[in-house]
Chain A
């Protein structure tokens, strides 16, 4: 059992399935965190604001 799966088993199938899920969620989460940090730095003047 892990915090995210009651039926967790230590075998390759679970590791691939949940591994890929956590990679996707990790990218989404890290992406948002990086964006929030950059926003903070730019808003406070520590980084130059970029325009598109």
Chain B
């Protein structure tokens, strides 16, 4: 039915099979739509957020997807600025994943602020000393950059390419893509960093507070490093998932291996600095606050196991697997390492957001528990549904893997 829209020389499933594939993702979107409607209509009382948990599940999702989407800017930086031509085989899926992550995060923030109609206040009445304002400005600008990077990919659609003006526009955009990639790198560096800096400057909450360099706490640099370490792994995971469902090889091993190797070095560096950061925090900031490391985990379900899991299981272990050539060349180990790496970053964001707020600060404070409502889960899962839908549609209708035809010749 939609065969005129499919790329030349590649095989796709039938329209009906594609329709049934989209149903679970549409269901997630419907759940999210209902949740969003309730939150906008009745207010944020539909959530379990409170004056204590002003940051909750949505912000964990936001920070996690923004870190996972860092593969877009970092792969763009490596491809267009550092001249790693091999990565041209994976840059398009990386851009689409980045676009999905950032647009999903922005949509979720639109509900999170409670009154989206006043969302523009943050731009109009900018408090320039707020890290969150810098994040808002950079994320908005970077979403524009991602949209610009996505346009030439959309214009490569078989039918759209037949229109001369659109084809020329796509090619012209492609020609100056290095400029947009450089702008995206600049914007991403600052918003990834400021997201971390936002927690590091919470001096009244010793669980998150950190020292640093000039106005930037160490978390500023650690968040940038963790994002560029896990972003490429998330791109690899999405590519492998597409290969699994399409039962095809879509990206040459050389591109995947290069990305995995770069990720390995970055993750190893991040682990060294993160461990140094933890030690400096445990023996510096915590004692000076009159507390001990164990005192943070006296109440509630959160324990030292979360830190152990973040550093050893989801940090050092994937770094070793990715660093050893035989480890990353084995498909199973590569996927496990990428999964662990991405889980580690989500866990890191969870620790900084939820655990920081749950831990009592004053002697008269108590431990605060938080469990999201179905409306909060609904909006979180809607982003996943949206991501699957958009990526599936992009794979079906656009030639996002340049080597697909070469790697999967059609035998009549």
Do A and B pair up? The answer is yes
Cβ-neighbour of A42 out of B125, B148, B168, B186 (below 8 A): B168
Does A24 contact B183, Cβ atoms closer than 8 Å?
A: yes
Using an 8 Å CB-CB cutoff, how does the interface string of B268-308 with A read, 1 for contact, 0 for none? 00000000000000000000000000000000000000000
B-side contacts of A28, CB under 8 Å: 141, 144-145, 148, 180, 183
Does A31 contact B171, Cβ atoms closer than 8 Å?
A: no
CA distance A49 to B167 in the complex (A): 10
Using an 8 Å CB-CB cutoff, how does the interface string of B88-132 with A read, 1 for contact, 0 for none? 000000000000000000000000000000000000111111000
Does A13 contact B129, Cβ atoms closer than 8 Å?
A: yes
In the complex, how many angstroms separate the beta carbon of B188 from the nearest chain A beta carbon?
11
Per DSSP, are chain A's interface residues mostly helix, strand or loop, or mixed? helix
CA distance A7 to B145 in the complex (A): 27
Does A31 contact B176, Cβ atoms closer than 8 Å?
A: yes
Cβ-neighbour of B186 out of A24, A25, A31, A32 (below 8 A): A24
Per DSSP, are chain B's interface residues mostly helix, strand or loop, or mixed? helix
B164 CB–A CB distance under 8 Å: yes
* Residue in A closest to B167 when the chains form the complex, CB atoms: A49
CA distance A31 to B144 in the complex (A): 12
Does A43 contact B145, Cβ atoms closer than 8 Å?
A: no
Chain A CB within 10 Å, residue with most, of B141, B168, B172: B172
* Residue in B closest to A21 when the chains form the complex, CB atoms: B137
* Residue in A closest to B133 when the chains form the complex, CB atoms: A17
Does B180 contact A52, Cβ atoms closer than 8 Å?
A: no
Does A51 contact B124, Cβ atoms closer than 8 Å?
A: no
Does A27 contact B183, Cβ atoms closer than 8 Å?
A: yes
B312 CB–A CB distance under 8 Å: no
In the complex, how many angstroms separate the beta carbon of A6 from the nearest chain B beta carbon?
6
A-side contacts of B165, CB under 8 Å: 39, 43
B-side contacts of A32, CB under 8 Å: 148
B27 CB–A CB distance under 8 Å: no
Q: Which 10 A-B pairs have the closest CB atoms?
A: A17-B128, A39-B169, A38-B172, A35-B172, A42-B168, A39-B168, A27-B183, A24-B141, A43-B165, A39-B172
Give the interface of B toward A (CB within 8 A).
124-129, 134, 137, 141, 144-145, 148, 164-165, 168-169, 171-176, 179-180, 183, 186-187
29 inter-chain pairs at a CB distance below 8 angstroms, sorted by A residue, are A4-B124, A5-B125, A13-B128, A21-B141, A24-B141, A24-B183, A24-B186, A24-B187, A28-B141, A28-B145, A31-B148, A31-B176, A31-B179, A31-B180, A31-B183, A32-B148, A34-B176, A35-B169, A35-B172, A39-B165, A39-B168, A42-B172, A49-B171, A50-B171, A50-B172, A50-B175, A52-B171, A52-B174, A52-B175
Give 19 new A-B contacts, CB below 8 A, not counting A13-B129, A39-B168. A5-B124, A5-B126, A13-B128, A14-B128, A17-B128, A18-B126, A21-B137, A24-B187, A27-B179, A28-B148, A28-B180, A31-B180, A35-B173, A35-B176, A36-B169, A39-B165, A43-B164, A43-B165, A52-B174
